[in-house]
């Protein structure tokens, strides 16, 4: 069942489009990712979903509700962690969790959330004394404290160290297993590739591509990566003639060659090396990553038109526990 529907969404600031005809749908129980360069319109899009911004035109529905006209009802089923948010400086972590818990009829156990997010030892700490990563973890806890049916997470793990990031990924996977739908905005390709069932790549205010992570990688040019250090240098003309090669590069420091292509390219590289009696040291053949696909989609296959204008800063209030 579709729980989020966005159709031909448009939003402009000072006459310049930030979101220019974005459309996608999110199914119940799905982790749906939104990727895009800075200023692409990602945060404006999700703030329209949360009801924090009023679209200029288009249709947005959350579980069949209009996020603006039915805002009170939407806040009961949708939790949000905003890209930027602040709490009162003197509020302790315990007080914030207890306060937000009191907003809901059937809140989650805030103590369990604090433990899961590594905040138990910080319960008596005032908000102003928290590190950036600790503030981020508290923001995530407040987004989940209302036991939402849908949760929007904007830059989920920004400011977290690698261990905390992976612990948070596991938490999100557990949340999805419990039936919660997740709309995830992120800059971390590894995060999107691990967590998301489908991803919309937004570039210059429009959807440049929408597919599964593996589907996006397959659609990118050079979906297979061949890298090796030749026993002696190869002529640039030899590398330029490789079939299906999307790009070739030679590291000036150690002479290592990297080729983006296909299975046909792999065979051609092996044939080329054999013909010139060259040994390939540390030969690696691997699939392209989501990073490769993202760069390809936003640099070469993105929609045409003027770049989206940067909108006002992300809406902030006490926090994004309920949008």
- Residue 115 is classified by DSSP as H
Q: Stretch 142-153: mean pLDDT, rounded?
A: 94
Do 154 and 84 belong together in one domain?
A: yes
Provide, rounded to the nearest whole percent, the portion of the chain with pLDDT above 70: 91
Q: Is residue 193 part of a domain?
A: yes
Residue 42 confidence (pLDDT) above 90? yes
Among 185, 217, 249, give the residue marking a domain's end.
217
Residue 219 pLDDT level (bands cut at 50, 70, 90): confident
Residue 318 pLDDT level (bands cut at 50, 70, 90): very low
Do 144 and 7 belong together in one domain?
A: yes
pLDDT digits (tens, 9 = 90+) for 161-181: 888 888 888 888 988 998 999
- Looking at the structure of the chain, the number of domains it has is 2
Q: Stretch 190-219: mean pLDDT, rounded?
A: 92
Do 27 and 59 belong together in one domain?
A: yes
Pairing of strands 198-203, 206-211: antiparallel
| Among the listed residues 18, 17, 24, the one whose alpha carbon sits nearest the alpha carbon of residue 3 | 24
Q: Is residue 311 part of a domain?
A: no
Residue 252: which domain range? 220-295
Q: Is residue 269 part of a domain?
A: yes
User: Which residues lie below 8 Å from residue 212, measured CB to CB, with a gap of 6+?
Assistant: 197, 198, 199
Do 123 and 189 belong together in one domain?
A: yes
Provide the pLDDT for residue 163.
Answer: 84
């Amino acid at each position: 069942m579709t729980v989020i529907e966005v159709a031909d969404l448009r939003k402009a600031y000072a006459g310049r489009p930030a979101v220019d005809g974005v459309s996608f749908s999110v199914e119940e129980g799905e982790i749906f990712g939104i990727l895009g360069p800075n200023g692409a319109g990602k945060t404006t899009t999700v703030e329209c979903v949360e009801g924090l911004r009023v679209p200029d035109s288009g249709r947005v529905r959350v579980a069949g509700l209009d996020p603006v006209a039915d805002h009170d009802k939407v806040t009961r089923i949708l939790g949000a962690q905003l890209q930027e948010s602040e709490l009162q400086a003197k509020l302790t972590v315990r007080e914030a969790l207890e306060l937000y818990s009191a907003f809901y009829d059937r809140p989650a156990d805030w103590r369990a959330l604090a433990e899961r997010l590594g905040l138990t030892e910080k319960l008596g700490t005032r908000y102003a004394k928290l590190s950036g990563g600790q503030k981020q973890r508290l923001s995530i806890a407040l987004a989940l404290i209302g036991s939402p049916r849908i949760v929007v997470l904007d830059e989920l793990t920004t400011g977290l160290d690698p261990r905390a990031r992976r612990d948070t990924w596991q938490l999100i996977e557990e949340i999805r297993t419990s039936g919660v739908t997740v709309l995830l905005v992120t800059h971390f390709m590894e995060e999107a590739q691990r967590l998301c069932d489908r991803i919309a790549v937004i570039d210059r205010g429009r959807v440049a591509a929408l597919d599964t992570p593996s589907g996006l990688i397959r659609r990118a040019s050079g979906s297979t990566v061949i890298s090796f250090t030749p026993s002696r240098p190869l002529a640039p003309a030899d590398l330029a003639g490789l079939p299906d090669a999307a790009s070739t590069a030679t590291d000036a420091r150690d002479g290592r060659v990297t080729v983006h292509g296909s299975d046909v390219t792999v065979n051609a590289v092996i044939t080329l090396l054999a013909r010139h009696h060259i040994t390939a040291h540390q030969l690696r053949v691997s699939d392209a990553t989501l990073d490769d696909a993202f760069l390809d989609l936003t640099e070469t296959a993105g929609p045409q038109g003027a770049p989206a204008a940067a909108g006002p800063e992300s809406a902030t209030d006490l926090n994004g526990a309920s949008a």
